[in-house]
A = this chain, B = another copy of it.
Amino acid sequence: MAFQYLTNTSLKEARTAFLDALKSSGFGPDTETVPAAESCGRITAAAVYAAISAPHYLASAMDGIALRAGLTFGATETTPVTLREEDFIVVDTGDPVPDGCDAVVMTEDVIRQEDGSVRLYASASPWQHIRQIGEDICAGEMILPSHMRISPSAIGAMLAAGVLSVEVLRRPRIGIIPTGDEIVPPSADPKPGDIVEFNSSIFSAMIREWDGDPVVYPIVPDDRELLRSALLTAIKECDAVLLNAGSSAGREDYSAEVIAETGTVLCHGIAIKPGKPAILGLSGNKAILGVPGYPVSGILVLTEILRPLLDVWYGTAPDSGQTVDAVLSRPVVSGLKYQEYVRVHMGRVNGRLIASPLSRGSGVVSSFMKADGILTIPQGTEGHAAGETVRVKLLRPAEALDNTLVAIGSHDPLLDECADLLHRADPGLFMSSSHVGSMGGIMAVRRGEAHVAGIHLLNETDGTYNTASVRRYFPKGGVSLVECVGRTQGLMVAHGNPLGIRSLQDLTRDSVRYVNRQKGSGTRILTDYLCKTEGVSSRRISGYDREEFTHTSVAAQIAAGTADAGMGIYSASRLYGLDFLPLCTEQYDLLIPDYAIGLPMVQRLLEVLRSDDFRQRLKKMGGYTLKNPGAIRRHF
């Protein structure tokens, strides 16, 4: 088919047109009656009125005796009143107040006499310790207005008021049709080219959180007729349908055509990034969404389009969520053409809330999982400079951000183990790590944006690690160097070392494809240094400018056969079953600024480093030597 051109309609315009069209199409809920006891979280269809009063009778509010208050008038400490047995009735809490009685005196104030009479040393006031009819709710009163979410206590109020069933808005059925020839169900062993279909699971969980009822249909291959028939079925059975994906303009992207055949396409292409190739359409009073295939794009399109649609359905107010001001740790450049969504890590460091941009790839679903917030950059603006204060929409409670230890610096899988041990030790604490290399970590600490930085920086003149760099970048001090681990660096090569690589020199052979770490990382600096001392020209190493950001991602490339060698730590090579040529042992330490060292969560991290659990986990990973992890090597 011909190349389709996508429009670049602004989100606001597209969404308003879509929601307006749906409203006027009659899109909206019918109602259903459910037992009040099982209605928690549902939305009332109409105002709910009490059928009976609660309490529905005059009830004793105490254990004691019921009587006519008038009989007790004049009773005092010095002039007690004595009542005969026929003048009072013993009642327990909740008992009906007998006819003719208008007060209850509680057990503790009743002095029983041997002849069955009682003596009272204080007069009772009329209606004391009696629960009046309707004290809680009067028959006929409105208990809940329309379109309100039913809470646990509202269930109690309804049942107390004799309302045993309640009319609520039906949950909308949202059909999800996964499409694509290459799409396969989740698998632990997919073939190259297989795209694992996990979007429907993400979308279903989101829809349930928004009180929708997801219906996942079988995967449909890229075939126009099959897609059309699947869409027709879903339209019949559901209130809204998501076609995922095929919403772009490629050779086999049939979504727009098929939607046009079964209804109307209102908009194809929205000025948001990720999420641009979305399609908004309708068929009768059913909503149809073409959702892009990349998971981050899909999550954003559902958040920006489907959630407001559910608000229209329920007649509830859009939940715009909590937003906070935060200082941006790195610049974010955005095109003028789109409204852009940037996932950010957040944490409170040195009194300021810091937001660090995460990966912006729309295929990187883990960026959403790790994100603490979303920074929205409006269409027509170019982004933000580092250090700028920006408004961020929170994805986690603000409180959690105050208890998040922010680690920025060199990557080592041991940081993840620390995060796990820290959170196990104190479930109120979290740790977020950004991998920006040792130099990135030093700069983050200098700017007051990290509690901890992992570093391993060789001083070429004397072969020591870290102290020289710290002295250079913190001439006035203000930081501590905390001992962590020694670790073995070396060349990772495929299992069995098929190319027979024995030295750095071997990397210059034509047949060897190298994969490197990014500039500024300690491992890159080490590699540059080793090449220099061994007289190897790095320019002659093919792939020396192919950069990965972690030890594991270098190992992953070699394991998959897209590269033959890369520098990294032993634990990463072991994880992937690679062969390993040890080249040196280096010191990996934690740099901790004075503004952070006294924080309970940082002290807790040092305890983790000193723990047996930590030692055992690292032993299992291999390639580490531990002397006194958690000890302060030096304060600068």
Residue of B nearest to A197 (CB): B159
Determine whether A599 belongs to the interface, using a CB cutoff of 8 Å to chain B. no
| A157 in contact with B365 given A92-B252, A134-B556, A556-B139 (CB within 8 Å) | yes
Find chain B residues with CB under 8 A from A156 CB: 198-199, 201-202, 295, 365, 368-369
Contact B576 A140 (CB under 8 A): yes
Contact B556 A53 (CB under 8 A): yes
- Given the complex of chains A and B, what is the CA–CA distance between A557 and B424 in angstroms? 57
Name A417's contact: one of B107, B142, B201, B559 (CB within 8 Å).
B142
Find chain B residues with CB under 8 A from A151 CB: 205, 369
Determine whether A392 belongs to the interface, using a CB cutoff of 8 Å to chain B. no
Name the segment of A254-262, A267-275, A542-550, A581-589 touching the other chain. Answer: A542-550
Find chain B residues with CB under 8 A from A63 CB: 248, 250-251
Find chain B residues with CB under 8 A from A147 CB: 423-424, 427
A428-463 near B? 1/0 per residue, CB < 8 Å: 110000000000000000000000000000000000
Find chain B residues with CB under 8 A from A311 CB: 427
Contact A52 B575 (CB under 8 A): no
A29-49 near B? 1/0 per residue, CB < 8 Å: 000000011001000000100
- Given the complex of chains A and B, what is the CA–CA distance between A203 and B63 in angstroms? 25
Contact A424 B159 (CB under 8 A): no
| A553 in contact with B132 given A96-B193, A205-B152, A576-B139 (CB within 8 Å) | yes
Of residues 388 through 433 on chain A, the ones whose CB sits less than 8 Å from some CB of chain B are 397, 399, 403, 413, 416-417, 419-420, 423-424, 426-429
- Given the complex of chains A and B, what is the CA–CA distance between A56 and B198 in angstroms? 14
Q: Would you give the shortest CB distance from A156 to chain B, in whole angstroms?
A: 4
Determine whether A85 belongs to the interface, using a CB cutoff of 8 Å to chain B. no
Of residues 536 through 567 on chain A, the ones whose CB sits less than 8 Å from some CB of chain B are 543, 545-546, 548, 550, 552-553, 555-557, 559-560, 562
| A159 in contact with B186 given A317-B428, A363-B55 (CB within 8 Å) | yes
Q: Would you give the shortest CB distance from A245 to chain B, in whole angstroms?
A: 9
Determine whether A209 belongs to the interface, using a CB cutoff of 8 Å to chain B. yes
Determine whether A133 belongs to the interface, using a CB cutoff of 8 Å to chain B. yes
| A560 in contact with B205 given A142-B417, A546-B126 (CB within 8 Å) | no
Contact B153 A416 (CB under 8 A): no
Q: Would you give the shortest CB distance from A463 to chain B, in whole angstroms?
A: 31
- Given the complex of chains A and B, what is the CA–CA distance between A127 and B532 in angstroms? 26
Contact B363 A159 (CB under 8 A): no
Contact A201 B37 (CB under 8 A): yes
Per assembly, the copies of the chain total: 2
Determine whether A361 belongs to the interface, using a CB cutoff of 8 Å to chain B. yes
Contact A164 B188 (CB under 8 A): yes
| A293 in contact with B137 given A126-B545, A142-B417, A196-B160 (CB within 8 Å) | no
Name A250's contact: one of B92, B157, B195 (CB within 8 Å).
B92
Contact A139 B575 (CB under 8 A): yes
Residue of B nearest to A555 (CB): B138
Determine whether A187 belongs to the interface, using a CB cutoff of 8 Å to chain B. yes
Contact A146 B420 (CB under 8 A): yes
- Given the complex of chains A and B, what is the CA–CA distance between A61 and B195 in angstroms? 13
Contact B198 A134 (CB under 8 A): no
Find chain B residues with CB under 8 A from A304 CB: none
Find chain B residues with CB under 8 A from A131 CB: 361, 363
Contact B95 A182 (CB under 8 A): yes
Contact B182 A137 (CB under 8 A): no
Find chain B residues with CB under 8 A from A196 CB: 54, 159-160, 162
Of residues 334 through 371 on chain A, the ones whose CB sits less than 8 Å from some CB of chain B are 359, 361, 363-369
Determine whether A282 belongs to the interface, using a CB cutoff of 8 Å to chain B. no
Determine whether A219 belongs to the interface, using a CB cutoff of 8 Å to chain B. no
Determine whether A491 belongs to the interface, using a CB cutoff of 8 Å to chain B. no
Determine whether A377 belongs to the interface, using a CB cutoff of 8 Å to chain B. no
Find chain B residues with CB under 8 A from A364 CB: 135-136
Determine whether A331 belongs to the interface, using a CB cutoff of 8 Å to chain B. no
Can you name 6 A-B pairs with beta carbons within 8 Å?
A: A3-B107, A53-B560, A57-B560, A135-B363, A137-B366, A152-B203
